[in-house]
Amino acid sequence: MMSDSLLSDASQRLEQALKYTSISEDAIESLKFPQTSLSVSIPVRMDDGSLKVFQGYRVRYDDTRGPGKGGVRYHPGVTMDEVQSLAFWMTFKCAALGLPFGGAKGGITVNPKVLSRMELERLSRGYIDAIADFIGPDIDILAPDVYTNSMIMGWMMDQYSIIRRFICPAVVTGKPIGMGGSLGRESATALGAFFVIEAMMPKFDKPPAATTVAIQGFGNAGGILAELLYLAGYRVVAVSDSQGAIYSRNGLDILNVRKAKEATRDIRAPYCDGSVCETTEHEVLTNAELLQLDVDVLVPAALENQITEANAPDVQAKLIFEVANGPTTSAADRILEEKGIYVFPDILVNAGGVTVSYFEWVQNRSGLYWTLDEVNQKLQSRIVEEAERIWRSPVISQFPCARQPTSMPSIAWVKRSAPKERGTTISTGVGGIKS
Ligand code: NAD
């Protein structure tokens, strides 16, 4: 799924961003390497009685700011390199949003679609058995990622509690509500991205009705974001899943696309009157074609490395909001910059998920639970404030052409590059930038 060079690609951006910071050489040196990387073999009894062993990983990249925080991914392409890179991103995402966490990530090399529910449960519990000594509410906290969900988080929390012999909800976030999950966690990534888009679009004088949007990935993040944008009046003209994309110049009826996806797992464009549905006019595209559509807003919300040196020259969108982690390579960034395309980076745009994960951890630890409105309002004020601070950053106005497209990723990377140094606190915001 991810090339072996992704960590070095991410490190290159860090190098670029460091030009604008005053971080010590010691901190830079320690940020080049993951702190701890654990690789485990997980034996699972399959439904047919056979035994299969899966490879699992957990990486704590840096815990200077607090316990590690990061999701667990189930995907056939998961490797140690990928998990290390994702843990690297989590380190800077938590710093960018000012959360008291370091960065971590986990994964299992598996295609969960071919497992039965019981096999999936045994695998998830086996993973916790294998890494239990490596995690904990004050050490490293798990969360959902690609192809993992609240049910799996519930099994993981339960297994950890069985091992420790007390109920320990704060070791995992993204749990079912009844097991200590937070209201609003399921939709938090999409809602955070929606708040960032809503805050940034007025700067481009684009009202929702005049804004066309294409979204790659129709899962937890992309699917919910598509619905939020559709309900706010944006023209969502294309969406996709791993099988391909659908496109309609006049805009898709996202509510019905979502209903169809839930019912059949296929991405289709129906129009429904009561229980009677017909397929509306639309084109079927590949995921590669979706990325090249002439739209105002492109949202990669599936996997990393989707916009590369090879296809960036063909991207026609005016603005890109990165909802997936690392969908644009650093080589592609440079091409997009030359083309005048703004890229709003992942660590800001998709940070709603980890922010509400933090809220869930706080609620678990205090035993005091918040209403959905409280959660969403806290999320909105935090993420919009960060987006505006990055937008207003003095570094952006240092560029000859104020607000050049390149500035957003660079400034966010400045923020990524500024976690607390060991022993001392340095600013994670624009105040940490050299003027
Ligand atoms: P998900 O498993 O719910 O959905 C993934 C979607 O991507 C599915 O629609 C799937 O069909 C599609 N997909 C898979 N392979 C594809 C391919 N090759 N081409 C196009 N589409 C493909 O996952 P998610 O939680 O929505 O996560 C999506 C991205 O957002 C990931 O990069 C993840 O790391 C990132 N992210 C998610 C969260 C979260 O809270 N869910 C938080 C931060 C970042």
Q: Domain limits of the chain?
A: 36-167, 188-349
| 121 alpha-carbon distance from chain centroid | 24
Strands 212-216 and 235-241: parallel
How far, in Å, from the CA of 218 to the mean position of ligand 1? 7
Residue 221's Cβ-count burial label (10 Å; 0-12, 13-18, 19+) is: buried
pLDDT at position 227: 98
Question: Best of 225, 240, 303, 306 to mutate for ligand 1, by most ligand atoms within 8 A of CB?
Answer: 303
Nearest-CA neighbor of 281 among 312, 248, 251?
248
> Do the domains spanning 36-167 and 188-349 agree at the CATH topology level?
yes
Read off the pLDDT of residues 410-431 as tens digits, 9 standing for 90 and up: 545 444 433 333 332 222 222 2
The CB of 296 under 6 Å from ligand 1? The reply is: no
Find tokens 């839930």 and name the residue: 262
CATH number of 36-167: 3.40.50.10860
How far, in Å, from the CA of 222 to the mean position of ligand 1? 7
242 neighbors 302 (Cβ within 8 angstroms): yes
The CB of 240 under 6 Å from ligand 1? The reply is: yes
Fold of 188-349: Rossmann fold (3.40.50)
Maximum pairwise Cα distance, the chain = 67
Read off the pLDDT of residues 154-203 as tens digits, 9 standing for 90 and up: 999 999 999 999 999 999 999 999 999 999 998 999 999 999 999 999 99
| Residue 105 is a catalytic residue | yes
Alpha helices in 97-231 (DSSP H): 117-131, 150-164, 188-200, 220-231
Residues of the chain with pLDDT under 70: 1-5, 21, 271-279, 394-435
Question: In angstroms, rounded to a whole number, what is the distance separating the alpha carbons of residues 390 and 96?
Answer: 10
Long-range contacts of 402-407 (CB under 8 A, 24+ apart): 404/337, 405/336, 405/337, 405/340, 405/341, 405/342, 405/343, 406/333, 406/337
Residue with CA closest to ligand 1 atom 43:
350
The CB of 287 under 6 Å from ligand 1? The reply is: yes
Find tokens 């749990």 and name the residue: 175
What pTM value is reported for the model? Answer: 0.86
Which candidate in 69, 93, 105, 420 is catalytic?
Answer: 105
